[in-house]
Structures are given as structure tokens and as C-alpha cells.
């Protein structure tokens, strides 16, 4: 069973990623959920993680607060997409769970040391600030990380926060550069693939008619989430960015990509956070990431639906 830590900034699509992971108990052992500022400030993202744990009936997975600000930049958030709380679209409450006293950075380091022989996989769904701080504070953890699977970047699709940059990378490009330069095995799921997993009407209806509270609440969250992309892009539905990270771990065969070099632009204000992907190997720089650009979307939604509906409540 793969041991994972989910680093996240919930976010409606993060919520569905968490629910997918929680529903995959036979394949994934979620050691903890570490929170970072991104879609909304840290106080919201950490509470949102607690809400999704309780919605999913998961009370044995600890939640930790991490970085409230990027390494060097002023925080940029995305309430225009996710709403003021980050989980607008329904009213979820926290009744039992609490955030752990340990910092997210220390928790990740502790897990890396504890599972040095077995190794851990880090699923990064938001800005990479926490992961960069871990790598900077204790570079030795790289030997304990099997892989970092992250949602971030965009090349063929351009950006979604600026013409050049995807949101997660844009928020903390310095952190993204540290992660990409770390030497750890990295898989990237950028906009190039997540824009191919647009919310489908039958998927939402299957969530609603399941009779399960968790699935019905997930449908409400997605109804709110997709209104932004439908209006902005004229698409048929909003892209489910973050669940791709979890689905990749569960069924990597439905994805296609290439091992390439990816560099992060940190100096230019015009192209800040751009993921410069050497798709055709024109620079001869050493490949540092498996960059995914295609997915069988029907299989993707099949996996997500199956795992969400397997939740107990």
C-alpha cells in the first residue's frame, strides 16, 4: 500500500481529491493532510481540510497547518474562483476534528524519517511552499521520498492566472523551483491534462442520486466551482484539477506524458511562474519531471466516482 501525504489548499477540486483518496483505502494510506495558503489564506484552508475529513467520515487522518505565506512573495489567493471560504457552494461544519499542534513541515520530515525504508509519496495540490521548506530545512529527506506528484504548471494550455502561469506555480515560483531542482522523482499534472477532465453532467447526477450525503455535498461544491470556468472559457464544465493527482496514483495507465526538463521562471514579472517545458529536448538540459499531457477522461471520472461513492457516509 502506498503511503501518501496530501499537501493542499482546499478549494473545491482539492476537496474532491481528498475524498477520492479517502475512498481508496485499499490502495492508499493517507498519513496526514498538510495545509498551505493558496486558494484562500491558511486559516481557511486548514479548516476546510477538517471539514472534508468529517464530510468523508475520516477521523483518523491528522491535519496540520503549514505555510501562511510564500517564500518570498506576497500571497495571491483565488476567492474569485473558490469563494470567500474556499468551499463556497454548501455549508460544511467542523464538529470534532482539530488541527494538530505540530507544523506541517515538521510532520513531513518526521514521516520521512519514520518511513525511510518504505518511503513516502507527497501529493501536492497547491503552491509548493511547504514542500520547499521541508527540502530546505532537511535536504536529507529526499532519500525518503519515493515521488512528488503535483498539480501545477501549464505549457500547451498556457496559464490560468496570467497568460504564462498556472496558479499554484505562480503563487510561489521560488518554492516550485526548489522542488523541481531537488532531484526527487517528480510527476507533474498541469493544465494541459486537467483541462481535459471537465465536470460532466452525468457525473454530477450520479453523485446526487447516490443517496450518500458526502457525494451530494461534493456535487454542490462542484456546482459552485465550475461556474467560474464555464463563464470564463465557455467550456461545458469546470476542470477537476487536483483529483488528477490521486487518480494518477490509482491508475497511472490512463495517463500519457514524457520525461522532460521543466524550469520555473522566477525573475520576469511578465512571465512569473511560467513552467518552461523542454518538450522537444532543444536545450539538452537534464530531464527532471514526468510531464503529463493526456488522460482517458472517461476512466478518470469512473475512478473518482467509484472512490467517492465508496465513502461510508
Q: What is the DSSP letter of 127?
A: -
pLDDT tens per residue across span 161-184? 999 999 999 999 999 999 999 999
- Asked if the model's pLDDT at residue 232 lies above 60, the reply is no
pLDDT at 235 over 60: no
pLDDT tens string 2-52: 999 999 999 999 999 999 999 999 999 999 999 999 999 999 999 999 999
- Inform me whether the pLDDT recorded for 192 exceeds 70: yes
pLDDT of residue 230 exceeding 70: no
Residue predicted with more confidence, 227 or 259: 259
15 versus 234: the higher-pLDDT residue is 15
- Whose CA is closest to 243, among 2, 22, 1, 69? 22
Query: Is 155 in contact with 192 (CB distance < 8 Å)?
Result: yes
CATH superfamily ID and name for 2-309: Ribonucleoside hydrolase-like (3.90.245.10)
Q: What percentage of the chain carries pLDDT values higher than 70?
A: 96
Q: Is the pLDDT of residue 254 over 60?
A: yes
Q: What are phi and psi of 261, to 5 degrees?
A: -95, 135
- Between 49-53, 159-163, 207-211, 236-240, the lowest mean confidence (pLDDT) is in 236-240
- 313 pLDDT higher than 90: no
Q: Provide the whole-model pTM.
A: 0.96
Give 87's contacts (C-beta < 8 A, 6+ positions apart).
10, 11, 12, 15, 48, 51, 52, 221
Please give the Cα distance from 185 to 243 (Å, whole number): 20
What are the residue boundaries of the structural domains of the chain, listed by start? 2-309
Q: H or E segment at 92?
A: none
Catalytically annotated residues: 241
Query: Residue 225 has what pLDDT?
Result: 81
Q: Measure the CA–CA gap between 286 and 209, rounded to whole angstroms.
A: 49
Rounded Cα distance, 313 and 311, in Å: 6
Confidence tier at 196 by pLDDT (50, 70, 90):
very high
Amino acid at each position: 500500500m502506498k503511503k501518501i501525504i496530501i499537501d493542499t489548499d482546499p478549494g473545491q477540486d482539492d476537496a474532491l481529491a481528498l475524498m477520492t483518496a479517502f475512498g481508496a483505502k485499499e490502495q492508499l494510506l493517507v498519513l496526514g493532510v498538510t495545509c498551505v495558503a493558496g486558494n484562500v489564506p491558511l486559516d481557511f484552508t486548514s479548516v476546510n481540510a477538517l471539514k472534508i475529513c468529517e464530510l468523508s467520515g475520516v477521523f483518523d487522518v491528522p491535519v496540520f497547518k503549514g505555510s501562511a505565506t510564500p517564500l518570498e512573495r506576497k500571497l495571491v489567493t483565488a476567492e474569485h474562483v473558490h469563494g470567500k471560504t474556499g468551499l463556497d457552494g454548501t455549508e460544511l461544519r467542523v464538529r470534532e476534528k482539530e488541527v494538530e499542534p505540530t507544523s506541517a513541515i515538521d510532520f513531513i520530515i518526521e514521516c520521512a524519517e519514520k518511513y525511510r525504508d518504505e518511503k513516502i509519496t507527497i501529493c501536492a495540490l497547491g503552491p509548493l511552499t511547504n514542500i520547499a521548506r521541508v527540502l530546505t530545512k532537511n535536504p536529507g529527506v529526499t532519500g525518503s521520498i519515493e515521488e512528488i506528484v503535483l498539480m501545477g504548471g501549464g505549457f500547451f494550455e498556457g496559464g490560468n492566472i496570467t497568460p504564462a502561469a498556472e496558479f499554484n506555480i505562480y503563487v510561489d515560483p521560488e518554492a516550485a523551483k526548489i522542488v523541481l531542482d531537488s532531484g526527487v522523482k517528480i510527476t507533474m499534472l498541469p493544465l494541459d491534462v486537467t483541462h481535459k477532465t471537465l465536470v460532466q453532467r452525468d457525473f454530477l447526477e450520479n453523485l446526487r442520486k447516490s443517496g450518500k450525503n458526502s457525494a451530494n455535498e461534493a456535487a454542490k461544491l462542484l456546482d459552485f466551482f465550475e461556474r467560474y470556468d464555464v463563464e470564463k472559457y465557455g467550456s461545458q464544465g469546470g476542470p477537476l484539477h487536483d483529483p488528477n493527482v490521486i487518480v494518477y496514483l490509482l491508475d497511472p495507465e490512463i495517463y500519457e506524458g514524457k520525461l522532460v526538463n521543466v524550469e520555473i521562471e522566477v525573475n520576469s514579472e511578465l512571465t512569473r511562474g511560467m513552467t518552461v517545458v523542454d518538450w522537444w529536448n532543444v536545450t539538452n538540459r537534464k530531464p527532471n519531471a514526468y510531464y503529463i499531457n493526456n488522460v482517458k477522461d472517461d476512466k478518470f471520472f469512473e475512478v473518482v466516482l467509484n472512490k467517492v461513492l465508496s465513502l461510508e457516509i
